[in-house]
Amino acid sequence: MAEKTTQKLDEVTIRFAGDSGDGMQLTGTQFTNTTAILGNDLSTLPDFPAEIRAPQGTLFGVSGFQIHFGSTEINTPGDACDVLVAMNAAALKVNLRSLIDGGAIIVNTDGFNDRNLKLAGYQSNPLKDGSLSKYQVFEVDISKLTALALQDLNLSSKIADRSKNFFALGMMYWMYNRPMEPTIKWIQSKFANKPDIMEANIRVLKAGWSYGETTEIFKVRYQVAAAKLPPGKYRNITGNQATAWGLMAAAKKARLDLFLGSYPITPASDILHELSIYKHFGVKTFQAEDEIAGITSAIGASFAGDLGVTTTSGPGVALKTEALGLAVMVELPIVVCNIQRGGPSTGLPTKTEQADLLQALYGRNGEAPIPVIAASTPADCFGVVFESCRLALKYMTPVIFLSDGYLGNGSEPWLIPDFNKLPDISVKFRTEKDGFLPYLRDEATLSRPWAVPGTPGLEHRIGGLEKQHLSGNVNYEPLNHEFMVKLRAEKIERIANEIPPAEVEGDKKGEILVVGWGSTYGAIKTAVARHRQKGNSVSHLHLKYLNPLPMNVGEILYNFKHVLVPEMNLGQLIKVLRAKYLVPAVGLNKIQGLPFMAVEIENKIDEMLKG
């Protein structure tokens, strides 16, 4: 047995990459779950190909999964990876740019045959031509070793080859001192009815571990200690899981059934999948025939007294627009979850973007204001969608919750909240018939009463035509229309009276304020922290409430000489800030289907400090 040494690391970033059929998402997820069990802080970036069945070995069929974990606070999936596990030539070519100089490459040599090299566009084999000389290259014939581990099971070569991702996982478990037991338990549960597949995957996982232990090529193992997280019970969670659970928690705290009417769309479909499991918790899920049916069914459920929700992405929001206007007009509480992706049109279905902010704020005909709230991390999706439900119910309005593909598919440790400490958001349906009018107004919130159909004496009609004040009768009078438009707008503006003031991370006054929203949080936080460690006057403001904005935003902006707004679009929040507060903010825009790296924001701040 080769002599091994152990090296301690504070943090490390690993990227698994291969064909979309190589199981890289599963490999990354299992590594992530095991890492979470060990108490490391972490952040992940699943990177899916857009093609459902891309030809094997092609560049556009590469699937990747990046995890950044450590014993310190982790806020991003990592600017660059320390280790790249590449299952074929295409995976190496697509992801090599993400690897640090001197980083480790673990390659499956079987994926570098003449056919794979040609499909990846290589003129020569990079494992032999010296082009990888600045990296540590570990060549392992994973496919062959997998076949050897399974040779006595009489499995077809195709089925046996599908297990090779577990060989790679076993090697990485050995290299980073991760236990195999959690994954073995998962395999036993997943393939309980397929004992031959169960045996194959467990055997290959152990074979990968044993190879790391006995081979001469790996001489170092790495130890990453647990992070010092606040005390409590944690689990690893994706943004879409957190969104689903936040919706269920809100429905329970509102004492309502939850109704989800949705049409499947990437990257939001996981929320529908997750909620469909929990019928015993008063959850009703309806897979609609299209996006319009999804939102109108949610409006109907809200009319009937449920918490109505619909989930989608940008193209779906475009189709839901008219119905959103209907929800504004009839003033019923629904929550629209937009898990943003690259656009326009079908765009980049599996890639992330923040390009739907202006659509959320203004993308309806007429004056149809809607509250808009955005989550900033995967775990944050739970609390933010809960808050979206609270506002929808209290103010009798549709609310748009913004996440994106990076947050929805990414994961991090989540401190599980005490359900009993979540706020009570229960609603009181109107039951008294004396003095009832469908558009009576609460003095504080301007919300109208919620009267469930079938309540004796509270029969009423609502629809998409303009309403007369109080009575709700159809009314086309010019002055009434202007009055109702302003009244609905004022109702939304009053939300600002109860939302918390925006908080600055860092000095309250200074040279540069970096303003962000949504999933740019981790990259901005990391970049600002690096500059503050150098003694630079840089602070961070991250906005959760985007309509209405917190009352103190203008005051904060005016306390800094320069304002930088990084966004994964061509500049949408910056338009709002410039128009509302007349500040000469500077934009930093990225539209590559990938989240910001902290170094990109760090470099822009450096440029502004010098400028």
Per-residue pLDDT reduced to its tens digit, 246-270: 999 999 999 999 999 999 999 999 9
Residue length, the chain?
611
| Domain annotation covers residue 469 | yes
Question: Residue 299 pLDDT > 80, yes or no?
Answer: yes
**E runs forming strands in 281-385:** 283-287, 307-312, 334-340, 372-374
Beta strand 504-505 with 538-543 is antiparallel
Q: To which H or E segment does residue 67 belong?
A: strand 62-70
Calpha distance 257→254 (Å, rounded): 9
| Domain annotation covers residue 229 | no
pLDDT in tens, 406-458: 999 999 999 999 999 999 999 999 999 999 999 999 999 999 999 999 999 99
| Per-state percent for the chain, helix, strand, coil, to nearest 5 | 40, 20, 40
| Domain annotation covers residue 375 | yes
353 shares its domain with 245: yes
307 shares its domain with 456: no
Helices 164-175 and 181-190, interaxial angle, to 10°?
Answer: 160
Beta strand 510-517 with 560-567 is parallel
Report pLDDT for 154. Answer: 87
170 shares its domain with 240: no
Calpha distance 199→190 (Å, rounded): 12
pLDDT in tens, 324-340: 999 999 999 999 999 99
Question: Residue 296 pLDDT > 60, yes or no?
Answer: yes
Query: Mean pLDDT throughout 157-179?
Result: 96
Report pLDDT for 1. Answer: 55
Question: Residue 42 pLDDT > 80, yes or no?
Answer: yes
Question: Residue 3 pLDDT > 80, yes or no?
Answer: no
Calpha distance 524→521 (Å, rounded): 5
pLDDT in tens, 51-84: 877 888 999 999 999 999 999 999 999 999 999 9
453 shares its domain with 485: yes
In single-letter form, the type of residue at position 172 comes to M
Taking the CA atoms of 165, 170, 176 and 177 in sequence, report the sign of the dihedral they define. positive
| Domain annotation covers residue 230 | no
Give residue 247's Cα distance to chain centre.
15
Question: Exposure pattern of 60-79 as b/e (b: 16+ CB <10 Å)?
Answer: ebbbbbbbbbbbeebbbbbb
512 shares its domain with 602: yes
| Residues 46 and 261: beta-carbon distance below 8 Å | no
Q: Could you tell me how many helices (H) and strands (E) the chain has, helices first?
A: 20, 22
Report pLDDT for 54. Answer: 82
| Residues 166 and 24: beta-carbon distance below 8 Å | no
271 shares its domain with 286: yes
147 shares its domain with 200: yes
186 shares its domain with 245: no
Peptide bond just before 548 cis, omega within 30 deg: yes
Residue at a domain's end among 174, 191, 224: 224
175 shares its domain with 67: yes
Residue at a domain's end among 498, 533, 555: 498
| Domain annotation covers residue 308 | yes
- CATH number for the domain harbouring residue 529: 3.40.50.920
**HSE-up (13 A, CA, CB side) for residue 204:** 29
| Domain annotation covers residue 363 | yes
Calpha distance 221→331 (Å, rounded): 60
- CATH number for the domain harbouring residue 93: 3.40.920.10
User: What domain range includes position 264?
Assistant: 235-421
Task: Read off the tokens for 513.
Answer: 């304020």
45 shares its domain with 64: yes
| Domain annotation covers residue 220 | yes
pLDDT in tens, 360-385: 999 999 999 999 999 999 999 999 99
Calpha distance 422→445 (Å, rounded): 22
Calpha distance 474→462 (Å, rounded): 9
| Residues 119 and 90: beta-carbon distance below 8 Å | yes
Residue at a domain's end among 398, 421, 444: 421
Sequence-ordered alpha helix ranges (H) in 113-264: 114-119, 142-149, 157-161, 164-175, 181-190, 195-214, 239-254
Q: Is 189 exposed, middle or buried (0-12, 13-18, 19+ CB in 10 A)?
A: exposed
pLDDT in tens, 492-529: 999 999 999 999 999 999 999 999 999 999 999 999 99
Report pLDDT for 51. Answer: 81
Beta strand 62-70 with 41-47 is antiparallel
Number of structural domains (the chain) is: 4
**HSE-up (13 A, CA, CB side) for residue 532:** 16
C-alpha torsion 354→357→359→363, nearest 10:
170
| Domain annotation covers residue 433 | yes
209 shares its domain with 74: yes
pLDDT in tens, 456-484: 999 999 999 999 999 999 999 999 999 99
What average pLDDT is seen over the chain?
Answer: 97
203 shares its domain with 105: yes
Report pLDDT for 2. Answer: 57
